[in-house]
Amino acid sequence: MSILRDPSLAAEGRRKIEWVRSFMPVLSGIEERFIREQPFRGMRVTVSVHLEAKTANLAYVLSRGGAEVRATGSNPLSTQDDVAAGLASLGVETFAFHGASPEEYKSHLTAALGHHPELVVDDGGDLVDLLGSSCAGLGDRLVGGCEETTTGILRLKAREREGILPCAMMAVNDAKSKRYYDNKYGTGQSVWDAFMHTTNLLVAGKTVVVAGYGWCGRGIALRANGLGADVVVTEVDPFKALEAAMDSFRVMTMAEASPLGDIFITATGCRDVITAEHFRRMKDNAFLANAGHFNCEVDVRGLTEAAVSLRERRQNITGYEMPDGRTLNLLAEGRLVNLAAGNGHPAEIMDLSFAVQALSLEWLSKHEKDLSRRLYSVPEEIDGEIAGLKLQSMGMKIDSLTKEQKEYLRGWQVD
């Protein structure tokens, strides 16, 4: 039985789900085939991704393909209670509610694994962490799983190195159809959508400091620049730093950027990116936000210890008063800002990402006998199929190589 905050919100949740389904044509096309072919008949799937409307659509599509699906969130602050109720009303057992305590959150993950799944969809690695420890017994039927995020892939690689992956895992985040668009264009838009909705303030004319220039950082910086901000990038990778500089952004250390920034956005996947030494240098009313999966990039504990008082200034904005009278504003408790304080990525972007998830799960189910406990790349044919379907849905066509051109590219002779 589902665990929900308020089942009476189901109608509004279904409206949200139906809305995004209208803008996810690739996944809809996959759903039509899944209904006919039933690739997951008799299989159990556990989905742990930020529980909002696009995720609900993925879980529903998998159920339409014959799977017994259980869904839960991957972050206590990103679950939308109406969507959770709506998904449960569509026949997908759902275990999540907004604002769950750490203990409640873990119990939701455990309950979602309670049907002993063959397949899992993870976001950040929490399901795999449980399956490799306290919930190992619930993984007795595991075939494989998919990981959605950069942070989760890092955790999986560490497990793979130590030989403790509980099952075969697919690196969905590394697929071109995912990282090129979800991480760059999805994060770029949704972070600023969340910031502007939460603060009701202008971005133009402000100095924005973006920590990390991976695909997510590129998108955040690109959109900040488009909104009229002066963008500073901080990095630890010299090649990414050079790329940021050649993209016309200023590059410096966080210590140098601290007194300059009006808005700080972290997107590194690492911890302690902004710490006490930086808080001491920041302007009055500077904003701190995190776009990484875990709330460890901004040192919230250090910020709390440094403050003489704190108060809620607006929904999802906590003001930390420093001893010298300055106030630093933390958005969404330092959690993933675009989901904890917003609606996440646009539906058209998640259409690509969740198409990768759906087809990767199908691939895992078909290759069960050949799998070992390691991290797999998404097959190129899946990636290419999804990109082609997306272009087709947008009414676009591209050229194809002729036989002669293919032979030319394979050879070494020049005519």
Q: Which long-range contacts (CB under 8 A, 24 or more apart) does 14-18 make?
A: 14/86, 14/89, 14/90, 15/86, 16/52, 16/53, 16/56, 16/80, 16/82, 16/83, 16/86, 17/53, 17/56, 17/57, 17/60, 17/83, 17/86, 17/87, 17/90
- CA proximity to 279, closest of 261, 252, 291: 261
Cα–Cα distance, 94 to 1 (Å, whole number): 8
Distance CA 315, CA 97 (A): 18
Terminal alpha carbon distance of the chain: 69
User: Residue 268 has which token pair?
Assistant: 């590194």
Q: Residues forming the annotated binding site for NAD(+)?
A: 149-151, 214-219, 235, 291-293, 338, 345
CA distances from 295 to 71, 291, 366 (A): 22, 9, 37
Report the binding-site residues.
149-151, 214-219, 235, 291-293, 338, 345
Quick one: tokens of 276?
A: 């006490």
